[in-house]
């Protein structure tokens, strides 16, 4: 993707997230998202569309996914509030090639929240070469998950196992 396309996508996503964060009503959110996405489609009429789908079909599909209760909760939820209250030992790990949850940003946010809550029993680690589901991978792309024979990396399993053993001593 070009830098211009990345910036455009970020701006569109920011608009979507703002609508979700401000909404308290699912039906109004659907109406607002429909209007927003229709405008986005009009402004980006040069971008590729899936074959056989009209702009209205694309907007309807996007709105049904984005306006779901799970997505609203996911966008609005701030785990730092709960993490500040955690006093038990914590192991927070990410695969270094995780493309769904940015390891650097998320592990740092977890570290900060636990620290603010005075949790001194946390281990936070990014594991090299692993994806979101802790498989040894090439790219980290979700489309790669099903093609990888490994279910769960032995390296990740050892990290978890060693951490548990350390906690129960």
Please write the tens of the pLDDT for every residue from 20-72.
999 989 999 999 999 999 999 998 877 777 888 888 999 999 999 999 989 98
Mean residue pLDDT of the chain comes to: 94
Percentage of residues of the chain with pLDDT beyond 70: 100
> Residue 83: its pLDDT value, please?
98
Q: At what angle do helices 69-76 and 3-22 cross, to 10 degrees?
A: 100
| Token pair recorded at residue 105 | 């940003």
Q: Would you place residue 129 in the very low, low, confident or very high pLDDT band (cuts 50, 70, 90)? A: very high
Q: How does pLDDT run across 141-167, given as a tens digit for each residue?
A: 999 999 999 999 999 999 999 999 999
Q: What is the pTM of this model?
A: 0.78
Task: State how far the Cα of 100 lies from the Cα of 69, in Å rounded to an integer.
Answer: 20
**Confidence bin at 125 (pLDDT 50/70/90):** very high
The Cα 29–Cα 22 span in angstroms is: 9
Rg, C-alpha atoms of the chain:
20
- Report pLDDT for 33: 96
> In the chain, where are the structural domains located?
3-76, 79-168
């Amino acid at each position: 993707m070009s830098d211009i396309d990345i910036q455009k996508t970020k701006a569109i996503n920011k608009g979507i997230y703002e609508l979700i964060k401000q909404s308290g009503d699912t039906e109004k959110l659907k109406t607002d998202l429909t209007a927003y996405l229709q405008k986005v489609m009009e402004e980006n009429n040069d971008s590729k569309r899936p074959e056989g789908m009209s702009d209205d079909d694309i907007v309807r599909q996007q709105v049904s996914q984005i306006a779901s209760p799970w997505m609203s909760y996911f966008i609005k939820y701030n785990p730092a509030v709960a993490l500040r209250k955690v006093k038990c030992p914590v192991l927070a790990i990410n695969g270094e090639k995780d493309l769904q949850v940015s390891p650097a940003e998320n592990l740092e946010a977890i570290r900060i929240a636990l620290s603010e809550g005075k949790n001194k029993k946390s281990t936070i680690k990014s594991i090299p070469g692993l994806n979101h589901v802790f498989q040894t991978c090439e790219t980290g792309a979700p489309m790669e998950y099903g093609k990888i024979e490994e279910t769960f990396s032995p390296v990740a399993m050892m990290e978890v196992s060693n951490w548990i053993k350390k906690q129960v001593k």
